[in-house]
Amino acid sequence: MIGGLFIYNHKGEVLISRVYRDDIGRNAVDAFRVNVIHARQQVRSPVTNIARTSFFHVKRSNIWLAAVTKQNVNAAMVFEFLYKMCDVMAAYFGKISEENIKNNFVLIYELLDEILDFGYPQNSETGALKTFITQQGIKSQHQTKEEQSQITSQVTGQIGWRREGIKYRRNELFLDVLESVNLLMSPQGQVLSAHVSGRVVMKSYLSGMPECKFGMNDKIVIEKQGKGIADETSKSGKQSIAIDDCTFHQCVRLSKFDSERSISFIPPDGEFELMRYRTTKDIILPFRVIPLVREVGRTKLEVKVVIKSNFKPSLLAQKIEVRIPTPLNTSGVQVICMKGKAKYKASENAIVWKIKRMAGMKESQISAEIELLPTNDKKKWARPPISMNFEVPFAPSGLKVRYLKVFEPKLNYSDHDVIKWVRYIGRSGIYETRC
Amino acid sequence: MTDSKYFTTTKKGEIFELKAELNSDKKEKKKEAVKKVIASMTVGKDVSALFPDVVNCMQTDNLELKKLVYLYLMNYAKSQPDMAIMAVNTFVKDCEDPNPLIRALAVRTMGCIRVDKITEYLCEPLRKCLKDEDPYVRKTAAVCVAKLHDINAQLVEDQGFLDTLKDLISDSNPMVVANAVAALSEIAESHPSSNLLDLNPQSINKLLTALNECTEWGQIFILDCLANYTPKDDREAQSICERVTPRLSHANSAVVLSAVKVLMKFMEMLSKDLDYYGTLLKKLAPPLVTLLSAEPELQYVALRNINLIVQKRPEILKHEMKVFFVKYNDPIYVKLEKLDIMIRLASQANIAQVLAELKEYATEVDVDFVRKAVRAIGRCAIKVEQSAERCVSTLLDLIQTKVNYVVQEAIVVIKDIFRKYPNKYESVIATLCENLDSLDEPEARAAMIWIVGEYAERIDNADELLESFLEGFHDESTQVQLQLLTAIVKLFLKKPTETQELVQQVLSLATQDSDNPDLRDRGYIYWRLLSTDPVAAKEVVLAEKPLISEETDLIEPTLLDELICYIGTLASVYHKPPSAFVEGGRGVVHKSLPPRTASSESAESPETAPTGAPPGEQPDVIPAQGDLLGDLLNLDLGPPVSGPPLATSSVQMGAVDLLGGGLDSLMGDEPEGIGGTNFVAPPTAAVPANLGAPIGSGLSDLFDLTSGVGTLSGSYVAPKAVWLPAMKAKGLEISGTFTRQVGSISMDLQLTNKALQVMTDFAIQFNRNSFGLAPAAPLQVHAPLSPNQTVEISLPLSTVGSVMKMEPLNNLQVAVKNNIDVFYFSTLYPLHILFVEDGKMDRQMFLATWKDIPNENEAQFQIRDCPLNAEAASSKLQSSNIFTVAKRNVEGQDMLYQSLKLTNGIWVLAELRIQPGNPSCTLSLKCRAPEVSQHVYQAYETILKN
């Protein structure tokens, strides 16, 4: 299991050091600093073995988190734990920065004591942790016996992510379908790979222990139901989507999903990620990028890029940004664009073209002349792909929320009383076109 | 005061200040002070001097302060064990606290104070906490047992904590179950023999139930524990799999990977015909692909595992090639791993896409990645034959870029492509040769040299190219030196006339000026091969090479099976068994996949477990790229086939003349493959000192084995005949015969004095003859030969005398001298005295040589009146060193295939056809020197008829 956990700043100074096992000595702290943080080469692996000691690290801004072990631990678990650790810290004090860590070091030690025991990860749900580890320090003397046992049963219980007795005057829930659409396209416009990775994020402000059931236009479910209603099969068949794979928050009853493909759960209070999914079929690609790069002699490049929006004209895409890489020896760039603003950013080696809004079924164009300094560098310019960022108000996968039913048998509110909000946001993931 | 204060003031001052604050009455100030102490501790300052003061702050109802003090205690208790005892009372008291959080905190911290003295005080509170009414305390106590076991294993056993821990597996709270499982699993690892985790269908059922209810971490502990279980039959395996598969949809990647581990392992037990088996395979792919959308570090862990899974069960991900395409922003470690998996998944169906991708990658910036991409193109060519041509042209395009490391990498892989598809893509050699000067890496240089040597006959200036490498021979790495040596020998064998000087140069560089034993030995072996038998040398050095296998870096199957049992863990990331990186006995228990059982019988011992796929399906494993070249180099020497030992003592050549007598025939021959068989004959003959080749110290001993081996029964000896009648030699009559016994030839003489005077001062001399026969000792006639007296003398002969071709071939001119005069006579010796004892040829070699000798060299003879059957003939001939290599029966006739070798190394191959009932038999002889055939026939006749 995890033998120790260290947090370093960018200089390699230790901010937090917690050792769980005897086999990890103080020298491990230095070994990581010398071999990884101060290493001259770029990091070649997130797992490093130094003198039979294995170091797992993740980086958040310029803070290094390193878990150390001498055993054959579950590596996936260690990384999952490190991410979780970051989430928990962020939930307590916001951004993970050197200052915040220094200001909260007592809290961090307290958390580390609680969520990692002898190197075994323990309950790390912030909802539960916040009930007894607070920034003020808990005043145990003020707690009643009931409160205490409620805390412990929540921390260890089956529904460790939710405490009992939550009350809201207005029962409300928000569902965000957040998708990132990824594309790799050849210069000729052939889709090399495309997939959507989506998340359903839920914010719940519901009283009691509500039992929820979530439904979407999952092809498998629709087809199963469609057997009964013959007319609808063809209609709904078109609208349903094939989900390649999905994963769920630990509140979702996986065995029920496995057997009935129904998504039922008791949600944590507040915001959480209900599910993640991935689709690869019938993706709506919101934009098409058509690049044209011409080398005019050895010192000049002509670039022309056309973007076409490919969705309903009534919808508006926002925050559109096209990034056209330029060679390292660029000396000057002239840009002409029909819409938006374009700038050459020498520090980023790219022309960045920004358009605030763009309706569907439109197209726009940019042309640029790039002057190059003559070099005797033998290595050819690698021509990185043209990448794009945008945000569209629909789900490129075609996913639709069909229902989210709430049952709370003990309290007197019904599904109809709950105010529900659904929003779809499609963003660009890695959206690249080779040129 | 001494100056030392200057070194300590700041620190001393600080500690002093803290001490004061710790003893302050104000609670807030106390807390601040403890915080400062912890902060100093974190950055590595030694604040152990404050131990008593900090421990004094322990008695508080402020939980935050208490936790801080505990933190301090955990760090320093070990260095101050006596002081740590002071804290025990507080712990024991806290374990009775009404607040379960405090009870748990106390038991958790006590376990972390790793001081022997404290452990005994820990037992009672721990026992209570293990049975606490609150699950939070119980789950903490369960872990504490593991802590205590780490400090004092015996104590834990004696106190019966292990049994209590086992009981916790049936606890009603899933988190207690999970922690108990985690603790037991770890303890069990240090007791591989014990049956601590007594897994049986009942306990497994409990675990599976808890699996649905506990935290994500608890699920991991349970799944990892389940993976150690061996179901008793396929039914049980299937039912466990069914209950584990829902975990594949968990958001936590570690849960998913641990579930994959259980499924991969138990799948071994399922029959492939089962519907469920197919369903399971289909279910595994999507979650594995989803892992690739996790954070990069987890992607890396996932990819390393997928690499194993793809090797074990390629069918799972065979349609998922696209998800492994590299993204521009992927971290380098993810890129490299993806590339590896892409090659493994490459097949005819997707090769076009893969190649297009690889070509893109080859223009990237990261040198390692680009190299790997270029190498991958080569591997695709080798793996998918249909793509080879496209791969080669892609590689040529890349060579045109002139980017140094791309060119070098491309040349290394092209060499492999040549190996896989000989005589197909050699047209590109010219392009390769253009880039000779830019090669500065040993591997690329060696590859290029290999290509030049292998295709020397097609490269006009091969000798110049190799010569240019030879100039800096001693500055090259061993890899290049060895390759250069082999390449030049190859060149010499292909173009002997022009390159004699070059080969001598490299041989002397390798044998005389090098300190590297490998290089020296290889040099000697080549040298001796060339000097002893150039034909054999050619067969050895230019032997057909076995094709290289397509998968070059598969993990060895037993290791792969073991690693499958470690999916998700560090072992699967390193691709090494835990014993390779874990110290001590922990976690080094060898794991293996369960055997496939269709019946309810369970195989207990893992040793009997067959490895996954039947052996036939496993592709041949040959070493990874890095070792490949070494492999190529070694190949030239070939596997040790027991070939014919070479001549012991007959080849006469000066040190300068390496070419030997066989050269003429060598030059006339086509270097074609020999009858489709690829054998090589290593030199195993004794090398006499007079051969001219330098004798390597230990080497000659190795080769000495064969000397003295021979048939004990001598060959046929003809009766003595009168060679010199008395009337011609003033009364001296000489009659004699030749014998061969145990490898030595002698001339048996009978001297009779028919004169009237005493004869003395005998001496004998031979004229130069065809086989270099010469007296090995002076003619010793001890006493004067009186009239009418006869003396018998056996004169040993050697075959190292001067050679002159005689007519007839076996003519020997002898001069005998005595006190009276010198007399000359000539005699014909039977050729069989020259048949050496090691004239038995290997069957393969026989076949090949038979085909190799042109038909016009074949001579056929009839041996009449020889009513012998095959056995008798064979044994008779054998005693005269004519060896039967093989025997066949064709249409009622016995065919004997025989070989013999003359003292000068000339091989004669014979086919003797004996027809039962027919007194005459047919002898066909093949020899590179056809002149001897007639005499060999005579020898046959003589031997068979006597």
Write down the domain spans for chain A: 4-124, 172-225+240-282+397-430, 287-392
When pLDDT is cut at 50, 70 and 90, the band that residue A68 belongs to is: very high
Residue of A52, A123, A124 with shortest CB distance to B581:
A52
Contact A247 B363 (CB under 8 A): no
Note the pLDDT of residue A342.
94
Per 3-state DSSP, chain A is made up of helix, strand and coil in percentages (nearest 5) of 25, 40, 35
Strands A363-372 and A330-337: antiparallel
Please check whether residues B357 and B482 belong to one and the same domain: no
Q: Is it the case that residue A142 has pLDDT exceeding 80?
A: no
Contact (CB<8Å) B329/A430: yes
Distance from CA of A33 to the nearest CA of B (A): 13
- Which amino acid does the sequence have at B129? C
Q: Which position has the higher pLDDT, B538 or A307?
A: A307
pLDDT band at A226 (very low <50, low <70, confident <90, very high): low
The residue of chain B with its CA nearest to that of A133 is B64
Phi-psi sector, A193: left (phi>0), alpha (psi -120 to 50), beta: beta
* Number of independent structural domains in chain B: 5
In a domain, B371, yes or no: yes
Whether B313 is covered by a domain: the verdict is: no
Of B402, B423, B439, the position where a domain reaches its end is B439
CB-based contact B186 A76, cutoff 8 Å: no
How would you label A182-195 residue by residue, b for 16+ Cβ within 10 Å and e otherwise? bbbbebeeeebbbb
For residue B302, the surrounding DSSP H or E stretch is helix B296-312
CB-count exposure of residue A376 (10 Å: 0-12, 13-18, 19+): exposed
Q: Is residue B379 part of a domain?
A: yes
Same domain assignment for residues B459 and B374: no
- Residues of A with CB below 8 A from B578's CB? 72
Q: Which amino acid is at B742?
A: V
Q: Of the candidates B245, B246, B333, which has its C-beta nearest A44's C-beta?
A: B333
Of A109, A184, A195, the CB nearest to B71: A109
pTM tops 0.90? no
Q: Please judge whether B363 and A380 are an interchain contact, meaning their C-beta atoms are less than 8 angstroms apart.
A: yes
* Nearest chain B CA: its distance from A251 CA (Å): 9
Please give the structure tokens belonging to residue B809: 């071939």
B927 belongs to a structural domain: yes
Contact B290 A247 (CB under 8 A): yes
In this structure, what are the phi and psi dihedrals at residue A242, rounded to the nearest 5 degrees?
A: -90, 120
pLDDT tens column, A423-434: 999 999 989 998
Amino acid in the structure at residue B306:
I
- pLDDT of B317 reads 92
Task: Give the bridge partners for B695, in sequence order.
Answer: none
Sheet harboring A401-407: ordered strands across? A263-265, A211-216, A401-407
The answer to whether position B820 is within a domain reads: yes
pLDDT value, residue A335: 93
B453 vs B437: CA distance, rounded Å: 17
Contacts of A11 in chain B (CB under 8 A): none
Judged by CB atoms closer than 8 Å, whether chains meet at A73 and B364 is answered as no
- CB contact (8 A) between residue A245 and residue B286: yes
Query: How far apart are the C-alpha atoms of B419 and B408, rounded to whole Å?
Result: 17
Mutation choice for A interface testing from B34, B38, B41, B42 by most A CBs within 10 A:
B42
**Of the candidates B769, B796, B829, which is a domain's last residue?**
B829
- A72 and B569 within 8 Å at the Cβ level: the answer is yes
Q: Is A345 a known ligand-binding residue?
A: yes
Are residues B8 and B114 both part of a single domain?
yes
Is B193 found in the same domain as B44?
Answer: yes
Residue B797, domain member (yes or no)? yes
To the question of whether residue A356 is assigned a binding role by annotation, the answer is yes
Identify all chain B residues contacting A109, using CB atoms and an 8 Å cutoff. Answer: 38, 67-68, 71
Task: Give chain A positions within 8 Å (CB) of B332.
Answer: 42, 44
Per the domain annotation, does B659 fall within a domain? no
Rounded Cα–Cα distance for residues A133 and A151 (Å): 11
Helix (H, G, I), strand (E, B) or coil at A25: coil
Q: In chain B, which residues have pLDDT < 70?
A: 1-13, 192-194, 550-552, 584-589, 596-714
Nearest residue, CB atoms, B363 vs list A197, A247, A382: A382
Give the tokens for residue A111. 């958390």
Distance from CA of A412 to the nearest CA of B (A): 28
Looking at the fold, whether B805 and B847 belong to one and the same domain comes out as: no
Residues B95 and B174 in one domain: yes
| Interface touch A45/B42, C-beta < 8 Å | no
- Residues of chain B in contact with residue A155, where contact means CB-CB under 8 angstroms, are 136, 175
Name beta bridge partners: A367. A304, A336
Q: Give yes or no for a contact between A261 and A220, defined as CB atoms under 8 angstroms apart.
A: yes
Q: What is the domain-level CATH number for residue B753?
A: 2.60.40.1150
Element (H, E) at B450: helix B442-454
Examine the fold and report which residue of B543, B558, B586 is the final residue of a domain before the chain moves on: B543
Residue among A79, A106, A385 minimizing CB distance to B297: A79
Mean pLDDT of chain B: 80
Size of interface A-B (CB pairs under 8 A): 274
Contact between B397 and B422 under an 8 Å Cβ cutoff? The reply is no
Strand-pairing partners, residue B792, are: B750
At A250, is the pLDDT very low, low, confident or very high (cuts 50, 70, 90)? confident
Neighbours of B398 (CB within 10 A): 22
My answer on whether B400 and B485 are in the same domain is: no
- pLDDT, residue B654, reads 37
Task: Flag if A83 and B365 touch (Cβ within 8 Å).
Answer: no
Under an 8 A CB cutoff, do A113 and B38 touch?
no
Q: Is A343 annotated as a binding residue?
A: yes
Residues B163 and B65 in one domain: yes
Q: Is A420 annotated as a binding residue?
A: no
Instruction: Give the CA radius of gyration of chain B.
Output: 43
H-helix segments, B513-608: 517-532, 534-541, 557-564, 570-574
Q: According to the model, what pLDDT value does residue A316 have? A: 94
Q: Which residue has the higher pLDDT, A334 or B120?
A: A334
Give A277's contacts (C-beta < 8 A, 6+ positions apart): A197, A198, A199, A200, A243, A244, A245, A246, A247, A397, A399
Cα separation, B560 vs B554, whole angstroms:
9
CA distance B615 to B610: 9
Burial class (CB in 10 A: 0-12, 13-18, 19+), B757: middle
Measure in Å the smallest separation between the Cα of B289 and chain A Cα atoms: 8
CB contact under 8 A, B215 and A257: no
Mean pLDDT of A240-264: 90
DSSP H helices, B362-403, are 367-383, 388-400
Nearest to B100 among A110, A152, A387 (CB): A152
- Closest-CA residue to B243 (of B268, B257, B226, B221): B226
- Chain A residue numbers with beta carbons less than 8 Å from the beta carbon of B68 are 106, 109
pLDDT at B615: 39
Q: Are residues B142 and B181 in the same domain?
A: yes
The CATH number of residue B896's host domain is: 3.30.310.10
Widest Cα–Cα separation across chain B: 145
| Closest chain A residue by Cα to residue B303 | A76
Same domain, residue pair B785 and B934? no
DSSP A35: I
Rounded to whole angstroms, the Cα distance separating A393 from B556 reads: 52
**Residue B644 in contact with residue B838, Cβ under 8 Å?**
yes
Q: What end-to-end distance do the CA atoms of chain A give, in Å?
A: 47
Are B140 and B52 members of one domain? yes
Give the residue among B838, B815, B836 at the shortest CA–CA distance from B825: B815
Question: For residue B735, with 0-12 CB atoms within 10 Å meaning exposed, 13-18 middle and 19 or more buried, which class applies?
Answer: middle
Q: Which domain range does residue B508 map to? A: 441-543
- Domain presence at residue B703: no
Nearest CA in chain B to A136: B64
In this structure, the answer to whether residues B751 and B899 fall within a common structural domain is no
Contact yes or no for A244 and B246 at CB 8 A: no
Q: Is the Cβ pair B333, A137 closer than 8 Å?
A: no
